[in-house]
Amino acid sequence: MTLERLRIAVVGAGYWGPNLARNFSTSPDWELVAICDLDLERAQRVADQVGHVPVITSLTELLAADDLDAIAIATPARTHYPIAMQALAAGKHVVVEKPLAESGSNGRAMVLEAATRGLVLMADHTYCYTPAVLKIRELIAEGALGEILFVDSVRINLGLIQPDVDVFWDLAPHDLSILDFVLPGGLRPTAVAAQGADPLGAGRSCIGYLTLPLASGAIAHVHVNWLSPTKIRQMVIGGSKRTLVWDDLNPQQRLSVYDRGVDLGKQSAGRTDRRDANISYRLGDTWSPALPEREALATMAAEFASSIRSRRAPRTDGEAGLRVLAVLEAATRSLAQSGSSVSPSPSERQMEPAR
C-alpha cells in the first residue's frame, strides 16, 4: 500500500537548508511545500532549485497552515529553540540540525514540549545515517570489536571561524553524536575535560581537545581544529578483539577492520587482576566491509517520516541531542576552569537513551 506523503517546509535557506530541501523534495515519503527564510531572495534561489516550491518569509504564517505536518530547521543555533517551540505549539513535528539548541535547558524544554504534545522532535545528526556509521553501530552491537577500549576521533581542516560559537560547538557535535549513536547505552562520560587554544586572538577556541572517560573504563578523545591546512575526518575505535578505522575522506575504503591488538593471557593462579596477565600482541588480517552508496540525508528523511507514522522515537531523537549538549556544556565549564575535569550535572547524567 502506498502511503500518503507527509508535507514539510524547510526553515532556513543558508548553508544547510538547500541540502535538506533537496533531499525532502526527492523523498518518496515527503512533499516539500515551502522554503521559509527572512531573506526572500535567498529563499527563492533554493526554491527554484527544488521545483519552484512556494517561498514565505513569515514563520507565523507558515505554521498557521493546517495541512503542514512538519518543519526542518536549518537556522543559527541560537534560533533553534524559539522556532522549534513555536512549531511544536502549532502541532508540527520538528527536525533540527545540530546542535539541538544553544543550551541544555532550552533543549530539555523542547524535548518536554514535544513529549507533552505527542510530537516527534528529531536531531539531524546527519553522520549517524551514513552507511559507514550505520555499519560501525552494527559491528559494535554484534560484538565484532569486542569490549570497547578507546576511541580517537579527529576532525580538522582550514575552516570558517564562526562568529558566535567556538570550535567545540561547531565541529565536535558531529563526533559526539556518532559516539552516542554507536556506543552501547549512548554517550555517557563520567567526566569531561576540554583544552582549547585561540592563537589568532579570535576570542574563542579555534583548536580543541576533548577527553571523555567512559563508565566502562574506556576513554574517548576528540580533536577539532579550524586552522589545519590538511583536512582529516578519521575515527579509530579500539576493541578487545579488533580495531576499526573510519576514514571518511577515503571513498574506496572508508572502513577498515584490523584483527590486531593486545591480548591478555591467563592470570597467575589465584589472581584475577589484569595486571597479572601475560601480555601478547595479535597480528591478524585486515578487511574492509562493503558499504552501499546512499546519501545520509535521504536516510534521515526516511527515518523522520517512519517515526511520525509509527508514533515512535527516531534513532536520533531529542534525548540524543540532549546528551550531546550535556558534553558541550561540560566542555565549556572545563574551559572556564583551565581544562580541569568536570562531571556532568545530575540532570545531564540522568538522561536515559532512547534506543
pLDDT value for 296: 97
pLDDT value for 161: 84
DSSP code per residue over 250-318: -TT-SEEEEEEEEEE-PPPTT---GGGSPEEEEEEEEE--------HHHHHHHHHHHHHHHTS--TTBH
Same domain, 99 and 203: no
Same domain, 32 and 108: yes
Average pLDDT, the chain: 92
Same domain, 121 and 197: no
Tell me the C-alpha distance between 326 and 314, whole Å: 19
Distances (CA, A) of 83 to 36, 93, 94, 318: 12, 12, 10, 15
CB distance 100 to 324 below 8 Å: yes
Tell me the C-alpha distance between 211 and 331, whole Å: 9
CB distance 284 to 260 below 8 Å: yes
Same domain, 86 and 140: no
Number of domains in the chain: 2
Q: What is the pTM of this model?
A: 0.90
pLDDT value for 281: 74
Same domain, 176 and 289: yes
Same domain, 52 and 12: yes
Same domain, 160 and 208: yes
Q: Is residue 329 part of a domain?
A: no
CATH of the domain at 77: 3.40.50.720
CATH of the domain at 156: 3.30.360.10
**Backbone Cα Rg of the chain:** 22
Per-residue cell: 177: 553524536
Same domain, 205 and 166: yes
**217: burial class by Cβ within 10 Å (0-12, 13-18, 19+)?**
exposed
Q: In percent, how much of the chain has pLDDT > 70? A: 92
- Structural domain span for residue 185: 128-293+340-349
Q: Is residue 335 part of a domain?
A: no
- Given a cut of 60, is residue 355 above it in pLDDT? no
- Given a cut of 60, is residue 291 above it in pLDDT? yes
Tell me the C-alpha distance between 231 and 229, whole Å: 7
Q: Which amino acid is at 217?
A: G
Q: Which residues is 219 bridged to in the sheet? A: 150, 213
The model's confidence at residue 352, banded by pLDDT at 50, 70 and 90, is: very low
Instruction: Output 271 or 158, whichever has higher pLDDT.
Output: 158
Q: What is the mean pLDDT of residues 220-246?
A: 97
